[in-house]
């Protein structure tokens, strides 16, 4: 009976060691870089305000393009991340008609909290808060020379990585971004538009 005990203990010990090593391989740790790439959808809020003393109702339409992030963990539970993307193009409805459009780039820097950082959890949720800068360009309008000012605003973020192995994972994330822009047409100030979109991204993550 006893001669079977030692091999059994050794086998259990090796299994536990392998499991612990595997678990630690999945852990997010201080010093890790994490990049995420996926399809990003910018969905402005439904009521974007009005221009020209309320005579022009504004409706900014949604758009989808490639998004990507680069993050760095300066602590097992805390990191910073920069969101970038290919330019988004938004059609703009004025009083219900498609009369304008614009492109924009939305770099967003967030400080993130990873509640399960440092553990071997396969599901790694995170939350962040930070600052967004939105640059509008290539504005077009059938009414004349349209100009949208750049915007600074706060941003909040929720995300989840599903770890597949030591490096790769699946990712889903959402940001709420405060974007307000002053609008002028032919040099005449028309007022402010509130875009305030939700940004949703789904794709892959890679830790290195």
- Residue 200, classed as helix, strand or coil, is strand
Please state, for a pLDDT cut of 70, what percent of the chain lies above it. 88
Q: Are 208 and 48 in contact (CB under 8 A)?
A: no
Q: Which is more confidently placed, 7 or 76? A: 76
**Strand order through the sheet with 188-194:** 146-148, 180-185, 188-194
In this predicted structure, which of 32-41, 51-60, 79-88, 129-138 has the lowest mean pLDDT? Answer: 51-60
Say whether 178 sits in a helix, a strand or coil: coil
What pLDDT score was predicted for residue 54? 83
- Percent with pLDDT over 90 in the chain: 76
Q: What is the pLDDT of residue 49?
A: 86
How far apart (Å, rounded) are the C-alpha atoms in residues 59 and 197? 12
Nearest Cα neighbor of 201 from 39, 87, 83 is 39
Is the per-residue pLDDT at 165 higher than 70? yes
Task: Please determine, for residue 191, whether its predicted confidence score (pLDDT) is greater than 60.
Answer: yes
pLDDT > 50? residue 13: no
Question: 1 pLDDT exceeds 70?
Answer: no
Distance from the Cα of residue 153 to its chain's centroid: 15
pLDDT (average), residues 99-124: 95
* Of 77, 43, 41, residue with least CA distance to 196: 43
Give mean pLDDT, residues 180-199: 93
Domain extent for 24? 2-207
Place of tokens 């992030």: 69
> Nearest CA to 70 among 43, 121, 32, 27?
32
Give me the CATH number covering residue 73. 2.40.160.20
Number of domains in the chain: 1
The Cα 99–Cα 31 span in angstroms is 49
The predicted pLDDT at position 24 comes to 57
> How far, rounded to the nearest angstrom, does the alpha carbon of residue 161 sit from its chain's CA centroid?
13
- pLDDT tens, position by position, 29-76: 999 999 999 999 999 998 888 898 888 899 999 999 999 999 999 999
Residue 21: pLDDT over 70: no
Say yes or no to pLDDT of 125 above 90.
yes
Across the chain, mean pLDDT equals 89
Q: What is the pTM of this model?
A: 0.83
> Quick one: average pLDDT of 4-25?
43
């Amino acid at each position: 009976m006893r001669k079977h005990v030692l091999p059994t203990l050794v086998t259990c010990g090796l299994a536990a060691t392998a499991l612990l090593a595997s678990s630690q391989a999945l852990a997010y740790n201080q010093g890790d870089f994490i990049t995420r790439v996926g399809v990003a959808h910018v969905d402005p809020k439904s009521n974007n305000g009005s221009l020209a003393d309320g005579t022009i109702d504004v409706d900014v339409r949604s758009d989808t393009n490639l998004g990507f992030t680069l993050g760095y963990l300066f602590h097992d539970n805390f990191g910073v991340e920069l969101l970038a993307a290919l330019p988004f193009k938004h059609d703009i409805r004025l009083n219900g008609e498609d009369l304008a459009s614009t492109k924009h780039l939305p770099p967003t820097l967030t400080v993130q909290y990873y509640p399960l950082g440092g553990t071997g959890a396969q599901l790694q949720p995170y939350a962040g808060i930070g600052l967004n800068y939105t640059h509008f360009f290539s504005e077009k309008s059938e009414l004349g020379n349209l100009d949208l000012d750049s915007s600074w605003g706060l941003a909040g973020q929720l995300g989840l990585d599903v770890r597949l192995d030591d490096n790769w994972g699946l990712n889903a994330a959402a940001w709420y971004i405060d974007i307000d822009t002053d609008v002028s047409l032919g040099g005449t100030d028309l007022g402010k538009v509130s875009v305030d979109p939700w940004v949703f991204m789904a794709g892959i993550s890679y830790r290195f």
